[in-house]
Structure 1
Amino acid sequence: MAENRFDHLSGVRHIVWDWNGTLLDDNHANLTALNRVCEPFGRAPVDLDYWRTVFRRPLLECYQDHLGRPLAKEEWEHLNTEYDRQYRSLLPGCGLADGVPGVLSGWTTAGGSQSLLSMASHRHVTGLVADFGLEPHFTRVDGRKYDAVDDSKAEHLVHHLAEQGIDPSTVVLVGDIDDDARAAREVGAHTLLVASGMMSRERLEATGGPVVGSPVEAVAALTEVRSPA
């Protein structure tokens, strides 16, 4: 029998979902906010295909490369504040990714548990999740409560799992950028990336982990290989 590329995920019992670009379809809001805050720096607008080839963490380094010069602390703080203002103004036009929330109910029905961890601010994320009526699906919802030195999700993931007493080896982090793969790898969890967010499929595949097109495909793959508890 041919090996299934998801077979190594058969022991997964818990999904940690990313939010932006994974469960929330906010690519347009992110791109529009990016172009608006970079315009005063003389940077011409870019399209989503381009941004998906260069976006990365740490964000400061990414933006400095994009603008072609270093940013002073005050400039970076102002850019972040303005980006947040622009993004929030566009949020009413953003919806959930295709298949959400049905796919969340499907994973619960299959016997799995799930939580949410985002690098957006904690207050912002918890408010949005509540607004969309998704809270009952998750055992825990965490946003960024502090700034990690390396701007990675890894440190936040450690705390997120520890607070729930979950064995990382039974966890898969479903996200849309390579930092999600890095975070999962560093804590001993699995990763499954969706190519519908802020990074191109080619860059996601370069992490060496499995890549699917959407949250629906992610849960379908996990359900198919899930071994009895």
Structure 2
Amino acid sequence: MVTGETELTAQHIVWDWNGTLLADNDAVLAAVNRVCVDFGRAGGPITLDEWRAVFSRPIVQCYERLLGRTLSTADWARLDALYHDEYRKLLHTCRLAQGVPDLLRDWRVGGRTQSLLSMWFHHELVPLVTEFGIAELFGRIDGLRASTGGGSKAEHLAEHLAEQGLKPGDVVLIGDVVDDAHAADQVGAACVLVSTGVMNRPALEATGVPVVDTLTEAVGLLTR
């Protein structure tokens, strides 16, 4: 099912990684529940639907709502470490999303270009993408170069496009969270969101950009 404005053209796709090209919801949920246990959240493990309902950015505020408490700088540092330690333990269980890498290869064969922009740590992202055998399909791969995550994607997207000499009007960002739509809007690029990640569909649809259920549908909007 496709919702939102669907008149899109693009010569270049900027792909998001987590929840978009990488199907990692199970690992994310396990990591979130590890945080919940360590911080003494009552009520038992949360489900994916519950996490999708509460998820938002800034991510620290999302966790404050989830845990029912204000987080100090020290709390956030501990939470961030707990989450990423658990996530890394399960990263080997994650797989590429349905349709990948065929969709990436077909887009490239069609004479168009693509790149990867993620808020996952750059020094871990590049080896992981390489391990999956798809690194050569991207003209550029950029991950987070800071020591902790949770910030806005807009400034990273602007730099990512500038480094490639791309005009925003020729670009569509395909991602899975509201922040992807906001980042694209701030730099003047188009956006398509997939409902495969950590945000519920109503939140995605509220952005006004096209929302689809699969990557095949997302690319299909650009190849009609």
Per the shorter chain, which TM-score range? Answer: over 0.9
Say if 1:156 and 1:94 are closer, same or farther in 2 by CA, change over 3 A: same
Answer yes or no: is the 8 Å Cα contact 1:5–1:210 preserved in 2: yes
The answer for the alignment partner of 1:171 in structure 2 is 171
**Secondary structure of 1:151 counterpart:** coil
The answer for the alignment partner of 1:191 in structure 2 is 191
The answer for the alignment partner of 1:31 in structure 2 is 29
The answer for the alignment partner of 1:100 in structure 2 is 100
Structure 1 unpaired stretches of 5+: 225-229
The answer for the alignment partner of 1:75 in structure 2 is 75
Distance 1:149 1:202 in 2: 25
Residues 16-70 of structure 1 deviation map (CA, whole Å, 9 limit, x = unaligned): 0000000000000000110012212221311001111111111111111111111
Answer yes or no: is the 8 Å Cα contact 1:148–1:155 preserved in 2: no
Residues 151-196 of structure 1 deviation map (CA, whole Å, 9 limit, x = unaligned): 1100000100000000011100000000000000000000000011
| Equivalent of 1:42 in 40, 58, 73 | 40
The Cα of 1:74 is off from its aligned counterpart by 1.3
Answer yes or no: is the 8 Å Cα contact 1:117–1:143 preserved in 2: yes
- Amino acid of the residue matched to residue 170 of structure 1? D
Q: Structure 1 segments of 4 or more deviating over 6 A?
A: 147-150
Which stretch of the first structure deviates more once superposed, 52-61 or 169-178?
A: 52-61
Distance 2:149 2:39 in 1: 26
Distance 1:208 1:41 in 2: 36
Q: How does 1:51-70 map to 2 (within 5 A)?
A: 51-70=51-70
TM score, norm. by length of structure 1: 0.92
The answer for the alignment partner of 1:219 in structure 2 is 219
The Cα of 1:127 is off from its aligned counterpart by 1.6
- Amino acid of the residue matched to residue 134 of structure 1? I
The Cα of 1:149 is off from its aligned counterpart by 10
Distance 1:26 1:149 in 2: 17
- Amino acid of the residue matched to residue 38 of structure 1? C
Residues 59-91 of structure 1 deviation map (CA, whole Å, 9 limit, x = unaligned): 111111111111121121111111111001011
The answer for the alignment partner of 1:206 in structure 2 is 206
Overall identity of the aligned pairs, in %: 52
Distance 2:79 2:55 in 1: 16
Distance 2:50 2:111 in 1: 39
Number of residue pairs aligned between Structure 1 and Structure 2:
219
**Secondary structure of 2:18 counterpart:** coil
Distance 1:169 1:146 in 2: 28
Distance 1:146 1:223 in 2: 35
- Amino acid of the residue matched to residue 195 of structure 1? S
Structure 2 unpaired stretches of 5+: none
The answer for the alignment partner of 1:227 in structure 2 is none
Does 1:20 find its partner at 2:18?
yes
**Secondary structure of 2:116 counterpart:** strand
